[in-house]
Structures are given as structure tokens and as C-alpha cells.
Amino acid sequence: MRRVFGPGPRDGNRHDEVGLMPMNQPRDGERRHLQPFTMVIFGASGDLTERKLMPALYHLSALGHLPVDFAVIGVARRDWTDDYLREKMRQAIEQAAGPDGIDEKVWADFARRLYYLRGDATDESTFARLEEAIARISAGFPGEIGKNRLYYLATLPSLYPKLIQGLGRLERARSNKGWGRIIVEKPFGSDLESAIELNRLLARYFDESQVFRIDHYLGKETVQNILVFRFANGIFEPIWNRNYIDNVQITVSETVGVGHRGAYYEEAGALRDMVQNHLLQLLALVAMEPPHSFNADAVRNEKVKVLASIPVPDVTTVAHTTVRGQYTAGVVDGKPVPGYLEEPNVSPDSKTETYVALRLGIDNWRWAGVPFYIQTGKRLASRSSRITIYFKRAPHLLFQPFSVPDLQPNSLILDIQPEQGVTLSIGAKVPGPQVRIRNVDMEFVYERSFTERSPEAYEYLLLEAIAGDTTMFTRDDEIEAAWRLVTAIRRAWDEAGVPLHPYPAGSTGPEAKHALLSEGQAWCGG
């Protein structure tokens, strides 16, 4: 029997396929020695390719991070040409570049590497024609760019099975074997059963070391910095446990509504769209044990152990440890906005949640008894992604008579977006003859401390995939452990009839969320 949820020791020293270059490999300065490659993007006419993938590849090329020889082939059903693809991608890159504009010399070199292939994932001939296109394009480059391949699935998830099967057969059949890797965008399944089935399909054609399940949150600078912050600083790790930490809060709030994604959101909801991937990934990084090395399997082993240590709630538990809500009409940034039920492609009697808050526990030695509160929602008062660590109060506060009434416990805030930084809140004496104490903040902000440009999340993650480093990508058992929890909550909501709380757009979410907290605790930000 295949074990689905156990953390499972893996060989952390095992190399992937040919061309693997982990993060701790020797480098020439800040640049890796990458092999020539061809990247194939399925869904080349889509929004993700225009807004994220092509600008990321352009910037990597402009900064000299890509090898001398590479090409990008976009595949979609539209009747485009090479020149039209280049024109569309130039517009997208110019828009992403903003006032700095585009470097014509860089663009000229980048554009000659872009090609288009009209193809349908459901048509088996597409993959044969793709092999022919790679061979033809590769002949125009000095390096063997067709030998190493990176396939990116930027399509509707319903097309994943056909693409995986077609590419898997293509990889097995080709003779010029170098490395072959596949990047799969979220959502990775819609529940536990579908995620397991998708993992099985991938495993039929690809080794796990070839599969890169991408979560763009893991490419954000502050998210990566969580591991450095925890394990490179001796002052925090000794107190990073149940003896000193009162509670942990992870919040991802958005001011926008569902917009044109109404049809997708009706299927997904906030729980599947945000909790299963982004928020549980952040929780795992905050709570994991120190890995034995910064090796992909070593890091991911520890993340899986955390997710497997979260008790799967039953129906009764879900009823009092979860809150779900749906936004109604309100005001955001001074402008009136419609409620969820008035959004395009949304059913007028929809019960889909646009907000979710959970109280979770981790049953292990480090975190026993420490609540982890996570919340995410749309049309909230502010746009913010942050992790807040609240420490326990001093056991005997000598200065209690002099404290201001709202003196808060010490806290550590890791801001992910829109600003990136770290804030440590401590109690300090107010200047003057009287003893008065209030909270003050010690801040670190990326933009003030570093002159180096912070890469966009997709820039970082694409470079890691090209290098063959899976550290910041999600493994099969990790995906299934997260879905195990989320699927149980989703089913319990249906069985227990957990209410859907309305909340006005522009608020901090449903008032019911405060009932999740223990006495003396408060949500960071309200």
C-alpha cells in the first residue's frame, strides 16, 4: 500500500536527473552554471504568461542569470505566429517594466528566442509537432537547447491530465535525453482524492525530482527569509516554542473582490484557493524543525512532518474552530463596491465563502498547546500578508501599575506584502520623570536596508526550476497532507451546516472570528 500522509524519510543526498544543481552548489559569484535549455509554456495566450512568466524570463535574461543558449516556445490554441507572440509579450513586458521601460538591446536578444506553436492539449498530434518544433529551433542555436526541457502548465487545471500524459510519453520516447522537468500551477486538485489521482498520474510518467508544483508565495523574499531568520540567528530559535510563544497568526487579506474570476471562485472558495496552499505553506515554514541541511528533501521532510502533526478535525471540532464568511456591498478605499452575490458569473444564491478563519493546533513537542490562527479574505479593509508571533507575557510584571492600559505583549511581525520587513514590538519607558511604559517597534524594511533589487516571485522560482532545485516547491506528500486537512474542513462545513457569516466590504471580516481566540488574545490588525 502506498503511504499517503506520513512524513516519510527521503534520501536527502539523492541527486535528481542530469543537470541537478541544488541551492548549495558551487557558483561563480551569484550566478549558477546553467545548461542550455528549452522552455515550453502551455497556455501562452493566457493571463499568467503575459503578466508573470514572460516578464520574469525577460528580467532573468537582462540580469544575466540565464545561460547563453535557451529558447521559449509558447503553445496555445489561438491562431498566432512567432511575430505576433513577440509583439504581445513586448507589450506585457513594457507594462511590467513601468517607467523604467524596456532595454532595446536586451529585448532584441530575448525576442529572437521566442517561438509559437499552435496546439491543443487534447490533440495527440500536438506533442509530435512540439518535438519537431524543438528540433528545428534547436538547430539554430550553438548549444544543445533541445536536450534539456522545462514544461510549464499554465492552462486550465482540467487540461493537466492530457498534458501530463502527452508530455510523459514525449519524454519517454525522445533519444536526445537530457533533463526534463514539469511545472504545475495551482490549484493542484480540488480535494484530497483528486490531488492523489493527479500525483499518481505524474508519478506514472515523471520522477518526483522532475515535478515542480509551484506556489508563488514561496518565491517571495520575506517567505524565503523565514528560514534564514529562524536558523541563522541564535537569539530567536531558543524561544521559538511553546514555552515562550502564546499564539501565532497568519493573515492574508485582500481589498479586491473576485473580479472576472467569479466562475473559478464559485468552484474553489477561499478555503481551497488560499488556505490549502499559501497559508498552510507559511504555517509549515514557521513551525518546522531545523532541517539537517538546506537540501530540498531535508527541508520538505520537515514541512511534511508539521502538516502531518495538525489534527484532522471532526465535525464537532470544525463547528467551533472555523469561521467562514461572504462579503456584502460596502466601501473600499473610499469607493462603493458590490457584494459577492452581485459579482459577474456568481450564482445569486451562492454559499461560497470569500473569507475563512481557522484555529489550528500542532501536536508535537515544540508546539503543543500553542494555537495557530489563520485568516484570509477578499474585500477586507487593507491589503496585507503577514505572520505575527505573540510571545507570552512576563510571569511577574513589576511595572504593571505604570503601564498604559493597552500595553500589548511582545510580538514579532514578518511582513510579506505589500511591504517586506520584520518588526519587533517591545515595551519601553516613555521619556519623562514618571514611569510610563508603552509599546515601541524595532523595524527592518527591505527597501531601506538593501540596495539590491528584490526579484519577483516568479523570477526566483523559474530560476530554481531551471537549476533543478525543488526546495521551494511542494512535494507530493506535502500536497496530500494539506488537502487531507482542507477536505475534512470542507466536508464538515457541509455536514454540520456551519453558518456563512456576511461581512461588509471594507471591514476586517466577520465579527464571529473573535470567538476563535482565547481570553486576552486579539487579532493582529483588528
**Residues, the chain:** 526
Report the distance separating Cα 484 and Cα 308, nearest Å.
9
Burial of 400 (0-12, 13-18, 19+ CB in 10 A): exposed
Q: C-alpha angle 51/54/56, rounded to 5°?
A: 90
Amino acid (1-letter code) at residue 89: M
Q: Which helix (H) or strand (E) holds 410?
A: none
Three-state DSSP string of 317-330: HHHHHEEEEEEECE
Q: In angstroms, rounded to a whole number, what is the distance separating the alpha carbons of residues 378 and 259?
A: 11
Contact status, residue 386 vs residue 398, Cβ threshold 8 Å = no
CA nearest to 312, candidates 446, 489, 93:
489
87's grid cell = 509583439
Give me the residues paired with residue 28 across strands: 31
Asked if 162 contacts 122 with a C-beta cutoff of 8 angstroms, the reply is yes
| 511 Cβ neighbours under 8 A, 6+ residues apart | 501, 503
Contact by Cβ (8 Å): 253, 383: yes
Interatomic CA distance for residues 92 and 52, integer angstroms = 9
Single out the catalytic residue among 65, 278, 320, 514.
278
Task: Name residues whose C-beta falls within 8 Å of residue 104's C-beta, 6 or more positions apart in sequence.
Answer: none
Distances 37 to 19, 176, 203, 348, 473 between C-alpha atoms, Å = 10, 12, 23, 49, 20
Backbone angles phi, psi at 43, to 5 degrees: 100, 35
In whole angstroms, how far apart are CA 259 and each of 256, 337, 343, 344, 507?
8, 11, 7, 7, 18
* 127, three cell numbers: 506533442
Cβ-Cβ contacts under 8 Å for 214 (sequence gap 6 or more): 183, 184, 185, 186, 461, 465, 473, 474
- Asked if 420 and 221 touch (Cβ cutoff 8 Å), the reply is yes
**Contact residues for 342 (Cβ-Cβ < 8 A; gap 6+):** 329
Query: What is the distance between the alpha carbons of residues 108 and 106, in angstroms, rounded to a whole number?
Result: 6
CA atoms within 13 A on the CB side of 494: 6
Distances (CA, A) of 243 to 5, 237, 368, 395: 28, 12, 10, 12
Residue 278: active-site member? yes
Active-site residues, by number, are: 278
